[in-house]
Amino acid sequence: MVLPLPVLYSFRRCPFAIRARLALAAAGLRPGTGLELREVHLDRKPPELLELSAKATVPVLWLPETAGPEGGAQVLDESLAVMGWALARHDPADLLRYGGSAGAAAERSAIAGLIEENDGIFKSHLDRFKYAGRHPGTDPPAERAAAMGILRCWSRLLAVDGWLVGTRPSLADLALWPFVRQFRLADPEGFDREPGLRPLQAWLQRFLEGPALAQVMDGSWAPRRPWRSPRWLYHLALAVEWRQAQDQGSYRRSTRGRSLEEVGFIHASGAHQIEATFRRFYGDAGEVLLLTIDPGRLEAPVLWEPAPESGERFPHIHGPLPLEAVLKAEPYQPVSPAAPC
């Protein structure tokens, strides 16, 4: 019997998701063996994520019955909860500062205070500085100055031993690194020339150049292609025909070179069938788009019917495709170049 893996819903650039991935990696977990990672697009969140968490923000970690701390399935939809779960399983660097000594307790308290400051007031100033358009009436220079004051305090802590708490890395370093990185991305020149941040600049640079960030920002930890929900339908369309459909108000092409009226339905694919369909019918078609379709927005029935040659069942939309049922139309890139026929 194959036991289900924990499932992590993540978004590559989100700082909360980055720090969750850092902790999971530090605990020795790896996508494909220790967990399943599902990269999501925040503008089209999969129904599986929406069902797990009312907030529908990343990261979200689903724990099957075999992995849940209480013995049953569980959902963790806060990054700190994900980090705590991972490091409670395995924390070789003692990032959580386990131990009964007064020194360990004091460091745990310092870690909690720094994370609270980061997730609260610093994140508020950062958002209003970096995303001023989302916060009408704010004063971006004032928000930047307030955030800079917090960064200077953190820099003074780092000046002692090079780490936020004590003489070695802790949960605080993992939790704050992605947000300081985000601040610098908003104003790299201003951050780099600030003389009061020399220890913080060195601390951040160590993170940016180190293996921990590189690991969780690439490869299986941060796939460039989003996970495709099996609950959605997918259709490959010629870009010119999709543009025509936008002018006409609905899409009425069945497949390449054939219309809905000719065939009687629109060919679609499940998530696992897209690549093979592209290679067979669209490999030389020029500009091809992948339409992600929400079947709940369709008026026409969808029937999974066998293909004549193979008998494999494909979803067929027996009617026109309303534009509002298409969640996304994006250029399709195959996994690897199609082999010549």
Residue 17: which of 78, 92, 93 has the closest Cα? 78
CATH number of the domain located at residue range(s) 7-94 in this protein: 3.40.30.10
- Judged against a pLDDT cut of 70, whether residue 255 lies above it is answered with yes
Going by the DSSP 8-state scheme, the letter that residue 31 receives in this structure is B
Q: What is the spatial distance between Cα 8 and Cα 31, in angstroms, rounded to a whole number?
A: 9
- Average pLDDT over the chain, rounded to whole? 94
Give me the pLDDT at residue 336, please.
58
Over range 65-90, report the average pLDDT. 87
Say if residue 197's pLDDT is above 70. Answer: yes
Q: What burial class does residue 170 get, using C-beta atoms within 10 Å of its C-beta: 0-12 exposed, 13-18 middle, 19+ buried?
A: buried
- The pLDDT of residue 309 is 83
Residue 192 is predicted with a pLDDT of: 97
Do residues 83 and 15 touch, judged by C-beta distance below 8 A? Answer: no
Non-local (6+) Cβ contacts of 50 within 8 A are 56
In this predicted structure, the answer to whether residue 340 has a pLDDT above a threshold of 50 is: no
3-state secondary structure of 101: coil
pLDDT interval class at 341 (50, 70, 90): very low
Instruction: Please determine, for residue 203, whether its predicted confidence score (pLDDT) is greater than 90.
Output: yes
Measured CA to CA, the distance from residue 10 to residue 1 in angstroms comes to: 27
CB 281 within 8 A of CB 245: no
The pLDDT assigned to 335 comes to 74
DSSP-assigned beta bridge partners for residue 304? 315
Q: Reply yes or no on whether the pLDDT at 337 is more than 60.
A: no
Which single residue is written with the structure tokens 């395995």?
90
One-letter identity of residue 122: F
- Residues 6 or more apart in contact with residue 79 via CB below 8 angstroms: 16, 17, 19, 20, 59, 175
Q: Mean per-residue pLDDT for 210-229?
A: 94
Burial class (CB in 10 A: 0-12, 13-18, 19+), 46: buried
Picking from 60-74, 106-120, 130-144, which range would have the lowest pLDDT averaged per residue? 60-74
Domains of the chain by residue range: 7-94, 102-219, 233-331
Instruction: Mean pLDDT check: name the lowest of 63-67, 92-96, 132-136, 176-180.
Output: 63-67
Q: What's the confidence (pLDDT) of residue 78?
A: 97
What are phi and psi for residue 27, nearest 5 degrees?
-85, 0
CB of 91 closer than 8 Å to CB of 83: no
Beta strands in 52-187 (DSSP E): 60-63, 74-76
* Confidence grade of residue 339 (pLDDT, cut at 50, 70, 90): very low
d(CA 235, CA 298): 14
Q: How far apart are CA 77 and CA 56, in angstroms?
A: 8
Q: pLDDT over 90 for what percent of the chain?
A: 89
- Tell me what percent of the residues of the chain surpass a pLDDT of 70: 96
Topology (CATH) of 102-219 = Glutathione S-transferase Yfyf (Class Pi); Chain A, domain 2 (1.20.1050)
**Span 289-299, pLDDT tens digits:** 999 999 999 99
Q: So what's the pLDDT on residue 338?
A: 41
Phi and psi at residue 149, to the nearest 5°: -60, -40
Given a cut of 70, whether residue 193 has pLDDT beyond it is yes
Q: Is 199 helix (H, G, I), strand (E, B) or coil?
A: helix
Q: Any idea which architecture 233-331 has in CATH?
A: Alpha-Beta Barrel (3.20)
Q: Compute the distance between CA of residue 326 and CA of residue 341 in angstroms, rounded to an integer.
A: 31
Token look-up 């092409």 returns 253
Task: Read off the amino acid at residue 154.
Answer: W
Total-model pTM: 0.91
